[in-house]
Amino acid sequence: MHIGYFSTQLGTLGGPSVVDYRVLQELVHLDRRNRYTVYAVTPEATRNLELGENFEVRQMKPAGKWPVVAMGMTLELNRRPVDLLHATFVPPLIPPPRYVLTMTCWSQFSEPEVYPPLIRWRLQYLLKRGVKHSQAVFCYTDYLKDKVMDYFGLSSERVFVTRPGLGEEIKRVEDREYLQSFLQGLGISGPYILFIGSLTKRKNVPRLIRAYHQLVKEAGINHQLVLVGETLFLSDEIFETIASLKLEDRVVLTGRRPHSDLPALYTGADVFVFPTLSEGFGLPPLESQACGTPVAAAHVSSVPEVVGNAAVMFDPYDLDDMSNAILRCISDQTERELLIKNGLENSKRFTWRNMARELINSYEAIHAAT
β partners of residue 273: 296
Quote the CA–CA distance of 199 and 227 in Å, as a whole number. 8
Question: Confidence class of residue 326 from pLDDT cuts 50, 70 and 90?
Answer: very high
Q: How many residues are there in the chain?
A: 370
Query: Is the CA virtual torsion 307, 310, 313, 316 positive or negative?
Result: negative
Mean pLDDT of the chain: 94
Q: Where in the chain is the domain with CATH 3.40.50.2000?
A: 2-165+351-369, 176-347
Question: Confidence class of residue 234 from pLDDT cuts 50, 70 and 90?
Answer: low
pLDDT of residue 242: 95
Name, in order, each residue with C-beta under 8 angstroms of 341's C-beta and a sequence gap of 6 or more. Answer: none
CATH topology of domain 2-165+351-369: Rossmann fold (3.40.50)
Q: Are 320 and 304 in contact (CB under 8 A)?
A: no
Average pLDDT over residues 111-139: 92
In the chain, what's the furthest Cα-to-Cα distance? 65
Average pLDDT over residues 256-278: 95
Q: Is 55 helix (H, G, I), strand (E, B) or coil?
A: strand
pLDDT of residue 1: 95
pLDDT of residue 230: 84
Quote the CA–CA distance of 219 and 213 in Å, as a whole number. 10
Quote the CA–CA distance of 221 and 215 in Å, as a whole number. 6
pLDDT of residue 63: 81
Write out the H or E segment, with its range, that includes residue 159.
strand 159-161
pLDDT in tens, 286-304: 999 999 999 999 999 999 9
Quote the CA–CA distance of 351 and 117 in Å, as a whole number. 36
pLDDT in tens, 118-128: 989 999 999 99
Average pLDDT over residues 220-238: 89
pLDDT of residue 119: 87
Closest to 316 in 3D by CA, of 109, 111, 13: 111
Confidence check: pLDDT of 148 > 80:
yes
Confidence check: pLDDT of 231 > 90:
no
Query: Is the CA virtual torsion 136, 137, 143, 148 positive or negative?
Result: negative
Quote the CA–CA distance of 242 and 63 in Å, as a whole number. 38
- The CA–CA distances, whole Å, from 68 to 31, 38, 95, 158, 263 equal 27, 13, 12, 26, 34
Quote the CA–CA distance of 363 and 9 in Å, as a whole number. 21
- pTM for this predicted structure: 0.93
pLDDT in tens, 44-95: 888 888 888 999 999 998 888 889 999 999 999 999 999 999 999 899 999 9
> The domain 176-347 belongs to what CATH superfamily?
Glycogen Phosphorylase B; (3.40.50.2000)
pLDDT of residue 16: 81
Lowest mean pLDDT among 13-17, 118-122, 255-259, 339-343: 13-17
Ramachandran angles phi, psi of 16, nearest 5°: -60, -35
